[in-house]
Chain A
Amino acid sequence: MSQKNRLQSGGRIDRSKALTFTYNGRQYKGYKGDSVASALLANGVDIVGRSFKYSRPRGIVAAGAEEPNAVLQVGATEATQVPNVRATQQELFDGLVCSATNGWPSAESDMMAAFGKVGGKMMPPGFYYKTFMFPQSMWETYEKFIRKAAGLGRAPLVNDPDEYDNMNQHCDVLVVGGGAAGLMAALTAARSGARVIIADEQDEFGGHLLSSRERIGGKPAADWAAEIVDELAKMPDVMMLPRSTVNGYHDHNFLTIHERRTDHIADKAPEGQIRQRMHRVRAHWVVLATGAHERPLVFGNNDVPGCMVAGAVSTYINRYGVVPGNKLVLMTTNDTAYQTALDWADTGREVVAVVDTRANPQGERIEAVRKRGIKVVTGSAVIDVQGKKRVSGVSVGSIDAKGEKVTGKVQHLSCDTVASSGGWSPVVHLSCHTGSRPVWNDEIIGFVPGATVQKQLTAGGINGTYALDKVLAEGVKAGKEAASRLGLTAADTQLPNVRTVREGTPMALFHIPHTKPTSRAPKQFVDYQNDVTAAGIELATREGFESIEHVKRYTAMGFGTDQGKLGNINGMAITAKVLGKTIPDTGTTVFRPNYTPISFGAIVGRNCNELFDPKRYSAMHKWHLENGAKFEDVGQWKRPWYFPKAGETMQQALDRECTATRESVGILDASTLGKIDIQGKDAREFLGRVYTNAWAKLAVGKCRYGLMCKEDGMVFDDGVTSCLGENHFVMTTTTGGAAGVLEWLELYHQTEWPELEVYFTSVTDHWATMTISGPNSRKLLSELCDDIDLDKDSFKFMDWREGTVAGVPARVFRISFTGELSYEINVQANYGMHVWEKLFEHGAKYNLTPYGTETMHILRAEKGFIIAGQDTDGSVTPIDLGMSWCVSNNKPFSYIGKRGMVREDCVRKDRKQLVGLKPKDPKAVLPEGAQAVDDPNQPIPMKMLGHVTSSYWSANLGRSIALGVIKGGHDRMGESVYYPLADGRVIEAEICSPIFLDPKGERQNV
């Protein structure tokens, strides 16, 4: 297809570089410098999608970030699919593939349109709330339907092959927006010696100047901009970021910039290049020079393809050399839009009429239009549009001075394009991100930024300043102010010569009346992307939604990916009118980050795959890998879970590991347990305050198990602490709890008891820890250690000794988490692998068996030892655990948890208490988390007594065992409880002591 709407000359496109692209499966041509939108318009493509609710055909409306309709799916391959790309912001490249994101089977002929027509009345605002809420069980069905119908684009199904990154930046002044105001602010600040970053979402700096026909300093505006850009580019302390959207303005002048580095080159970034980058900028001062978006007017059938915003039409003509139609009708409330009629007429195509809502408009541009012989219809408005897939004509009626009624006869004009302008809305989005509420300004008929706590300045269109000479002056002023606030001597930038255009007063009009009441008039769209109409807003207010925030949510106005950039102000004005209030009284909703959609890739940057979260490995990890370990994640640690031999199931491996340990000797890599070195003359006192048991008399060379509670009396961690010297201890914590315990110790030390002299150091990674456990562990150790007396009476249970193991200095702790004779050997981590391998060299004859966390869990459960975080959940006291032996109430200091434990709620008899559970059927293993009841036949909801916290098959006992909490369980020994399961089975279990094996503890004392 030829580019029938392309001009022979003019614009900033390069006609010598033709590009081919595919839209909806069909090939088109465009030029370098085109956006996808301008190329589609050049080729006469009218329909770029179907609307969300009514499935009406929609065309391109705008030329920038505010575009609501031309939201495309881009990507030539599955891996490079990108949803929600605004065709107006995507630069064209050769081979680009895109398609409309909604419409089935195609946007051109849509099946849903039939439903839209019939169902239009059936889909009022709040439709989804009213229709799809009940019954809840049907939601999944509704959701599929809604998603398919809504056509919001799709994510790729395979991994993104591109690389993204984040970059931290610091600067004196961040200028947001590279238009006239932004360029002047950046130049002035930079000339004053400030370190400046200037970012603009477009490929070229210049903003509005790129499509303007004004002159600055005697030159075309775009040429003037190019000179300023050249000067900035040469300054060493200026960073220029084109194709970079400042998407978020966060606390303390932290801004995020989304830079698209290769999206304009190809589908996939060239080898070795970063596709997109997120700049995380901490700026001393920010200058917002974000400009303004033109508002379309709201009138009947204003969504028929061919209806556009006036300024966008000028942009397509002047910047891209594309006239998006043949016969134009322009409707305006202001002088500025007359330029569009002049631009159109200059292309040689027909301007049917300019329809001005004002009765007697006066201004230079109006005179110029009249001089060209273009018909100007005053005091009138386009009240309705004809045409289905493209505008074919309009109905124009005269209106009263307030713009509330159609007063005279309606005439028909034939045309294919309707450009409208209802004035301009400052782009206050970033200012809103800081918590600042915009303020209505009657003079400029728009919201401007309100007061802010940020170090923020504004210049140009964002202030409602639109005359070019004033915009440039505000840019200079902001640049100077930023410089002087930074303590720099502000440079004085000479303002270039700009001709002032004489303009008349604009009219505050948003919603064009119709001969029929709004509810019966043709649809008048406010928010194109979410199909919100003026009638819908009226209905919402009639249904009682009077707060603008409620109207927004009920109608879904501004909920699309465009965040209502185009329609929100019109919607607020309509709400105000219906409620008989002023716009400032009605107020405005505010905008949140991000300004435009951002890819997950740019947010994540390098923090994916291996770098998503650190992985921690013990010194013996390589051995575990070579010996076929299956791993489990514990915190960030990769811990061996079990070590299956060829052909073994998990249960077979566990049975073998458990039996071997109890019969001979097993070995566990316990390096991941948290280890905190504690020193200082008050270390012992400190331990007494943070543990529930007594520490005053623990002698050098001795170890003790301790429980830690929070102030509420609930257990939060446990472990063994050993006395290394009179003022020196080493504490062990759970693997996952280590960092939290250290922070908690520091908290109490620094804020409550700074007078105690005590120091904490994490030494978790310094030591490799291996536990040998089982009746042959002493024999094995004795083969590798000759400087510690291992005799049972000299190296007793809960003692530790310093010595040499396998030729390496070691601390050996005789502590046990299995109930067997056990030694925990600690060596400097670098020696870990050496000692581990030596143990296996000598252990072969004892069938030394490596085991992982699962066997560790089973062996300790056989002994009724708890695991903090598994058998406790922050609601369990030591008494609930049956561990009152580990609570000392004779300590002089009221240790943490003591007072909490005697709160009224903590001494109730019917608290959930930890007990052992023996299923009646010894082969039945209870699922962890299963809920106990007394009567499994009672009606649902059943009265629940507590849940299973740990449950295993015990090979040593030849039966299933479990730990669990039961209300008042300590007094119910021998009674039965029932566990009704999701699959319909009910498992009966007997409440028993949690110690299933060796209740007297003889095995560890041999």
Chain B
Amino acid sequence: MFYIYCPHCREHREEEEFHAKGQAHIARPADPDNCTDEEWGNYVFFRKNPRGLHHELWYHSTGCRKFFNVTRDTVSYEIKEVYKIGEQPQVVAKG
């Protein structure tokens, strides 16, 4: 079970307080109506499943109800950093 630092509450809390919401930084296309089906399909359905560093969206559902981002190693499950929505990760995969 993860031990997650909420950047809004500024405390470590147990994973039970959070919901994992999948890959982070998925921007909604600015003009959906003029997307091709393929572009739209990529936005709605396709997600990365990396072995190694992964930027994830988490929700402090039974805490402050704020969303935030987590960089996590999917092999070791180590959380490398947490950062707020709108910010960019400092820890990124090489190459």
A751 to B19, CA, bound (A): 15
- Contact flags A243-279 to B (C-beta < 8 A → 1, else 0): 0000000111110000000000000000000000000
A-B contact number at CB 8 A: 60
In chain A, what residue has the closest Cβ to B31?
Answer: A894
**Chain B residues near A983 (CB, 8 Å)?**
none
CB <8 Å contact, A751 and B85: yes
A779 proximal to B (CB < 8 A): no
- Contact flags B26-58 to A (C-beta < 8 A → 1, else 0): 001001110101001101110000000000010
A736 to B85, CA, bound (A): 29
**Contacting A712 at CB < 8 Å: which of B44, B61, B85, B86?**
B44
**Chain A residues near B43 (CB, 8 Å)?**
711
CB <8 Å contact, B41 and A453: no
Q: Which of B53-92 contact A (CB under 8 A)?
A: 57, 59, 61, 65-67, 73, 75-79, 85-86
Interface size on B, residues (CB 8 A): 31
In chain B, what residue has the closest Cβ to A899?
Answer: B32
A251 to B14, CA, bound (A): 11
**Chain B residues near A751 (CB, 8 Å)?**
57, 67, 85
Q: A252-B1, A747-B59, A750-B85 are in contact. Are A899 and B76 (CB under 8 A)?
A: no
A4 to B75, CA, bound (A): 56
CB <8 Å contact, A899 and B86: no
Q: Which of A877-904 contact B (CB under 8 A)?
A: 894, 898-900, 903-904
CB <8 Å contact, B32 and A752: no
CB <8 Å contact, A899 and B33: yes
B76 to chain A, nearest CB (A): 4
A319 proximal to B (CB < 8 A): no
A974 proximal to B (CB < 8 A): no
Q: A752-B28, A898-B32, A899-B33 are in contact. Are A252 and B19 (CB under 8 A)?
A: no
A110 proximal to B (CB < 8 A): no
A282 proximal to B (CB < 8 A): yes
A899 to B35, CA, bound (A): 8
A435 proximal to B (CB < 8 A): yes
A837 to chain B, nearest CB (A): 35
**Chain B residues near A94 (CB, 8 Å)?**
none
- Contact flags A475-506 to B (C-beta < 8 A → 1, else 0): 00000000000000000000000000000000
**Chain B residues near A743 (CB, 8 Å)?**
19, 59, 61
A113 to B21, CA, bound (A): 55
Output the residue of B28, B31, B85 with the most chain A CB within 10 A. B28
A894 to B35, CA, bound (A): 11
A754 proximal to B (CB < 8 A): yes
**Chain A residues near B45 (CB, 8 Å)?**
712
In chain A, what residue has the closest Cβ to B69?
Answer: A751
In chain A, what residue has the closest Cβ to B24?
Answer: A751
A402 to B67, CA, bound (A): 63
CB <8 Å contact, A252 and B67: no
A900 to B78, CA, bound (A): 36
Q: A743-B59, A750-B66, A751-B57 are in contact. Are A894 and B32 (CB under 8 A)?
A: yes
**Chain A residues near B3 (CB, 8 Å)?**
251-254, 282
**Chain B residues near A163 (CB, 8 Å)?**
none
Q: A252-B2, A747-B21, A894-B33 are in contact. Are A903 and B67 (CB under 8 A)?
A: no
A253 to B61, CA, bound (A): 23
In chain B, what residue has the closest Cβ to A282?
Answer: B3
A282 to B32, CA, bound (A): 46
A254 to chain B, nearest CB (A): 5
In chain B, what residue has the closest Cβ to A747?
Answer: B67
B26 to chain A, nearest CB (A): 9
CB <8 Å contact, A904 and B37: yes
**Chain A residues near B21 (CB, 8 Å)?**
747
A282 to B73, CA, bound (A): 20
In chain A, what residue has the closest Cβ to B78?
Answer: A453
In chain B, what residue has the closest Cβ to A742?
Answer: B65
**Chain A residues near B78 (CB, 8 Å)?**
453
**Chain A residues near B14 (CB, 8 Å)?**
282
CB <8 Å contact, A746 and B65: yes
A968 to chain B, nearest CB (A): 22
**Chain B residues near A282 (CB, 8 Å)?**
3, 14
A322 to B74, CA, bound (A): 51
A385 to B21, CA, bound (A): 61
A174 to chain B, nearest CB (A): 14
Q: Which of A431-473 contact B (CB under 8 A)?
A: 435, 453
CB <8 Å contact, B76 and A453: yes
CB <8 Å contact, A898 and B33: yes
In chain A, what residue has the closest Cβ to B44?
Answer: A711
**Chain A residues near B75 (CB, 8 Å)?**
435
CB <8 Å contact, B2 and A435: no
A324 to B19, CA, bound (A): 56
**Chain A residues near B28 (CB, 8 Å)?**
711, 752
B39 to chain A, nearest CB (A): 10
**Chain B residues near A746 (CB, 8 Å)?**
59, 65, 67
B51 to chain A, nearest CB (A): 13
A246 to chain B, nearest CB (A): 15
A903 to B43, CA, bound (A): 13
B37 to chain A, nearest CB (A): 6
A743 to B63, CA, bound (A): 12
CB <8 Å contact, B77 and A251: yes
A453 to B78, CA, bound (A): 8
**Contacting A750 at CB < 8 Å: which of B2, B61, B67, B79?**
B67
A931 to B6, CA, bound (A): 48
**Chain B residues near A899 (CB, 8 Å)?**
32-33, 35, 40
- Contact flags A363-397 to B (C-beta < 8 A → 1, else 0): 00000000000000000000000000000000000
**Chain A residues near B1 (CB, 8 Å)?**
250-252, 254
Output the residue of A251, A253, A899 with the most chain B CB within 10 A. A899
**Contacting B44 at CB < 8 Å: which of A453, A750, A894, A900?**
A900
**Chain A residues near B19 (CB, 8 Å)?**
743
**Chain B residues near A900 (CB, 8 Å)?**
40, 44
CB <8 Å contact, A903 and B86: no
A526 to chain B, nearest CB (A): 32
Q: A894-B32, A903-B41 are in contact. Are A754 and B59 (CB under 8 A)?
A: no
Q: Which of A80-97 contact B (CB under 8 A)?
A: none
A894 to B57, CA, bound (A): 24
**Chain A residues near B73 (CB, 8 Å)?**
453
In chain A, what residue has the closest Cβ to B35?
Answer: A899
A747 to B45, CA, bound (A): 17
**Chain A residues near B79 (CB, 8 Å)?**
252
**Chain B residues near A712 (CB, 8 Å)?**
44-45
A790 to B78, CA, bound (A): 63
A686 to chain B, nearest CB (A): 14
**Chain A residues near B35 (CB, 8 Å)?**
899
**Chain A residues near B57 (CB, 8 Å)?**
751
A604 to chain B, nearest CB (A): 15
A889 to chain B, nearest CB (A): 9
**Chain A residues near B86 (CB, 8 Å)?**
754
**Chain B residues near A904 (CB, 8 Å)?**
37
B48 to chain A, nearest CB (A): 17
CB <8 Å contact, A252 and B77: yes
A403 to chain B, nearest CB (A): 39
**Chain B residues near A898 (CB, 8 Å)?**
32-33
21 CB contacts below 8 A, A to B, read A250-B1, A251-B1, A251-B2, A251-B77, A252-B3, A252-B79, A253-B3, A254-B1, A435-B76, A435-B77, A453-B76, A746-B65, A746-B67, A747-B21, A750-B66, A752-B28, A894-B32, A894-B33, A898-B33, A903-B40, A903-B41
A747-B67, A750-B85, A751-B57 given. 18 additional CB < 8 A pairs? A251-B2, A251-B3, A252-B1, A252-B3, A252-B79, A254-B1, A282-B14, A453-B78, A712-B45, A743-B59, A747-B59, A752-B28, A754-B86, A894-B31, A899-B33, A899-B35, A900-B44, A903-B40
Chain B residues close to A by CB (< 8 Å): 1-3, 14, 19, 21, 28, 31-33, 35, 37, 40-41, 43-45, 57, 59, 61, 65-67, 73, 75-79, 85-86
The 5 closest A-B pairs by CB, nearest first: A899-B32, A252-B3, A453-B76, A894-B32, A750-B67
